Amino acid sequence: MNNIFLALDFPNWEQTRQFLDENNLHGIPVKVGMELFYKEGVSVIENLKDRDHAIFLDLKLHDIPTTVMRAMKNLAALEVDYVNLHALGGGQMIQKAKEGLQSKSASSHHTKLLAVTILTSTDEQRMNKDLRLKGTVEENVVHFAKLANDNGADGVVCSVHEVKKIKQSCNESFLTMTPGIRLRESTSDDQKRIATPAFAKAQGTDAIVIGRSITKSQNPKNAYAQAVEEWENGTSK
């Protein structure tokens, strides 16, 4: 597994399958988000597992601790590799989520729990004004990463630019999964804190998520290969 998770932000399974088949992207790590999961439900996970994809199920749970715990119990049964929640839900919610993932009725498969700190589409002004969180994005990201670490999460979803600080503040083995990745020629869309796969690797991130840079590319197969090349060798051709 190369730790490059392709964001399958497609409206349904048929278009997802077609994209994967046409571009010969068999068995690569993938991220399933709300759009696809809420359309297809559990069957999309079963289909992807049958095709040997590692799966990050990106549903970003945020609710009262008991509800999140029960939801995580059900998600554990899907035996995906990663699930996530919003650290803004608080320490108790994170603890309960972990408890749900590890409960006896859940399978013995170990699904890792990631916490979203501050979404990579949020800049400081929006964070201060809309969320009324004081300080810089980095200060808040580090705070939420520590909260997640202290309450049993396996890692965080964060920007590439925050990886080093998070590893220092939590510990080296605390996982970082970073979206907001762009290949050099693509636009930034709605992501504010972006970086290339090579830069992400150099910052020490454990895994990256790439969506539109590949799915909207003229040649997705080549774009994916470019991402792999940059991730593995630190440069692209």
Please give the residue ranges that form the binding site for ligand C5P (CB under 6 A).
7, 9, 33, 58, 116, 119-120, 157, 179-181, 189, 191, 209-213
Least distance (Å) from ligand C5P to the CB of residue 215? 7
Query: In 103-196, where does DSSP find H-type helix?
Result: 124-129, 137-150, 163-169
Evaluated on CA atoms 74, 215, 198, 189, the torsion sign reads negative
Angle at CA of residue 187, ends 17 and 16, nearest 5°: 5
Q: Which is nearer to ligand C5P, 102 or 186 (CB)?
A: 186
Q: Which is nearer to ligand C5P, 53 or 106 (CB)?
A: 53
Q: Which residues contact 43 (CB under 8 A, 6 or more apart)?
A: 13
How crowded is the C-beta side of 30, counted as CA atoms within 13 Å?
24
Q: Which is nearer to ligand C5P, 23 or 213 (CB)?
A: 213
Query: Is 60 a catalytic site residue?
Result: yes
Q: Which is nearer to ligand C5P, 106 or 212 (CB)?
A: 212
Least distance (Å) from ligand C5P to the CB of residue 96? 21
Q: Where are the beta strands (DSSP E) in the chain?
A: 4-7, 30-32, 55-61, 82-86, 112-116, 155-157, 175-178, 207-210
Evaluated on CA atoms 209, 203, 122, 127, the torsion sign reads positive
Annotated catalytic residue, options 31, 39, 49, 60:
60
Q: Tell me which residue has its CB nearest to ligand C5P.
A: 211
Least distance (Å) from ligand C5P to the CB of residue 116? 5
Least distance (Å) from ligand C5P to the CB of residue 105? 28
Give the active site residues: 60
